[in-house]
Structure 1
Amino acid sequence: MARIAELVAYPVKSLDGVAVERAEIGPRGALLGDRTYALVEAGVDPHEASVGGSGGYVNGKREPAVHGLRASYDLAGPADATPTAVTLSRPARSETGIVADERTFALPDDAEALEAWVGEYLGYDVDLVREPDGGLPDDRAAPGPTVVSRATLETVAGWFDAVADATEMRRRLRPNVVLDDCPAFWEDRLFADHGEAVAFAADGATLLGVNPCQRCVVPSRDPDTGVETDGFRETFVRKRRETLPAWTESDRFDHDFRLMVNTLVPETEWGATVAVGDEVTIGEVVDLDDGPGGETVVGGAP
């Protein structure tokens, strides 16, 4: 029986995550507080911007210096990862004359001070934007918690000499839910074909697995330094194909640079709580227009 081994929220998008023992499912289905805040180039509307490499978000896809920022958080509650304060540390940057520094910022009160401090480090103006109603996920059509297994992290870490262990691979892939007591790539059972989803339950909460996550440049980079692993994508694609389980067969798996599962959470499940130790069981394949009980799935199909 698969179970939840780790829950990780990312209160500020693209910065460090924080492990929690339990998490409430918030509006639109994300873990409450996950990616509540994000950094964007000054003046960019986060709802109009693309999360891609040139889309205006200050993220690892377009700004390797983000990897140098370390973050820890004060959280709103034991099941609410909304940050009430963030402590940031930045390394020295000889090319810009920035010295190593650490500051704590109350949120949202110290937003302008945080913007100035991070902008000084990056060398351009940034805005700290906030979206308390469901956060700012990459996959806006499937904004629920992302899922991977610990065995998958261990297996994929073993493909690369530059990756220390499963924990480092988790930091590179940035999932919300890590499962244990299941084989590598077990999470590939949690998606079906286009127009369909796989219902699965974590204790009392039902989620819908929608699609395998398309990866970007971020997993190829050291999560602390931003240094890229040579040949990462090529090795990943080759090994993914070599180790592909029979259960991964789906028209959603249209190329091999996919890993982790994006989810939707029906509105009826908002407010439910998931916790480390919860057993995870797979249910039926459902039409993506409807939840397992016939309710409309808010968010629609990707």
Structure 2
Amino acid sequence: MRPYLARIDIFPVKSLDGVSVAEATVLGSGALAGDRTYALFDSQGHVINGKRNAVIHQLRSTFSKDGEWITLASAGNDSPSSFHLQQQRLELETWLADYFQQPITLQENCELGFPDDTQAVGPTVVSTASLQAVADWYDITLEESRRRFRTNLEIDGVPPFWEDQLFSADGSPVQFTIGDVVLAGINPCQRCIVPTRDALTGEATPGFQKTFIQQRTAALPDWAPPQRFNHFYKLAVNTNIASQGGKRLNVGDGVSVI
């Protein structure tokens, strides 16, 4: 095996579409620059995401190369709208409020972003082979599998579920390198309702979780510590990156477990 970083995806606005990039800078917090920098909130202070708002699946978003502009289009709307994330914040929030039919505010955190796991704020890691294996379970494309699981770093040159060795049986961090960046694998990523739905339409896949758990259990590799799975609806690994702000991850970087 010659593991390497095959793909980097960042998600500028939490729960909206991602962007594939050739390189990513590590922030002082250990998060990736530009990843989940923004998030949408309702009037009660709750994050607007796919767990609570299935209509978000039908909202398409693209971003300018400098990350300063967002273009939004909703299903059935042939007229996309573009907004400067800083200078047109009010107009953007008004457009989103109309789409979600409730008041929306856009919040920003440039140092940490808005991670799901606040104890492991680094990029999530998965192998290409794992995403393909899951795609085969449901007869969907690899790209659809990527869209459903929304992982940051994709490792190729390895077998399915190779990443299950990046967390330990006793919960201690597992160190590995991507290029000259040292990451610490913390825990397998627990999944929510979002992957059960078509990423573009929001249509639910019947029996998704049941099938996933059955297949994941059967496919659990020898190197995976089973005691870290209180259930098997888990895919990818949550990480931390300590004291390496300014370093870069690049597509093509080699990957090694220390």
Whether TM exceeds 0.5 here: the answer is yes
Give 3-state SS (helix, strand or coil) of 2:145's partner.
helix
Match of 1:131 in 2: 109
TM-score by length of 2: 0.97
How big is each residue's C-alpha offset from its partner over 1:72-97, in whole Å with a ceiling of 9 and x where there is no partner? 11243xxxxxx2111111124xxxxx
CA 150–2 in structure 1, closer or farther in 2 if over 3 Å, else same: same
Match of 2:204 in 1: 228
Distance in structure 1 (CA, Å) of the matches to 2:256 and 2:85: 37
Match of 2:18 in 1: 17
Q: Of residues 69, 74, 83 in structure 2, which corresponds to 1:85?
A: 69
On the 8 A contact 2:42/2:105 being kept in 1, the answer is yes
Specify every segment of 5 or more residues in structure 2 that has no aligned partner in the other structure, as ranges: none
How big is each residue's C-alpha offset from its partner over 1:10-69, in whole Å with a ceiling of 9 and x where there is no partner? 00000000000011101311111100001110351xxxxxxxxxxx11101110110111
Distance in structure 1 (CA, Å) of the matches to 2:109 and 2:83: 18
Match of 2:238 in 1: 262
Q: Of residues 137, 144, 152 in structure 1, which corresponds to 2:130?
A: 152
Shift of 1:278: 0.3
Shift of 1:101: 3.6
Q: Using CA pairs below 8 Å that are at least 6 residues apart, which structure has the higher relative contact order?
A: 2
Match of 1:115 in 2: 93
Residue identity in the other structure for 1:215: R
Greater Cα shift, 115-124 or 233-242: 115-124
Q: CA RMSD in A?
A: 1.2
Match of 1:32 in 2: 33
Shift of 1:100: 5.0
Distance in structure 1 (CA, Å) of the matches to 2:216 and 2:233: 8
Distance in structure 1 (CA, Å) of the matches to 2:144 and 2:28: 30
TM-score by length of 1: 0.83
Match of 1:199 in 2: 175
Identity of aligned residues (%): 41
On the 8 A contact 1:192/1:250 being kept in 2, the answer is no
Specify every segment of 5 or more residues in structure 1 that has no aligned partner in the other structure, as ranges: 45-55, 77-82, 93-98, 284-302
Residue identity in the other structure for 2:234: R
On the 8 A contact 2:167/2:185 being kept in 1, the answer is yes
Poorly superposed stretches of 4+, deviation over 3 Å: none
Give 3-state SS (helix, strand or coil) of 2:29's partner.
helix
On the 8 A contact 2:181/2:249 being kept in 1, the answer is yes
CA 184–111 in structure 1, closer or farther in 2 if over 3 Å, else same: same
Shift of 1:252: 2.2
Residue identity in the other structure for 1:121: Y
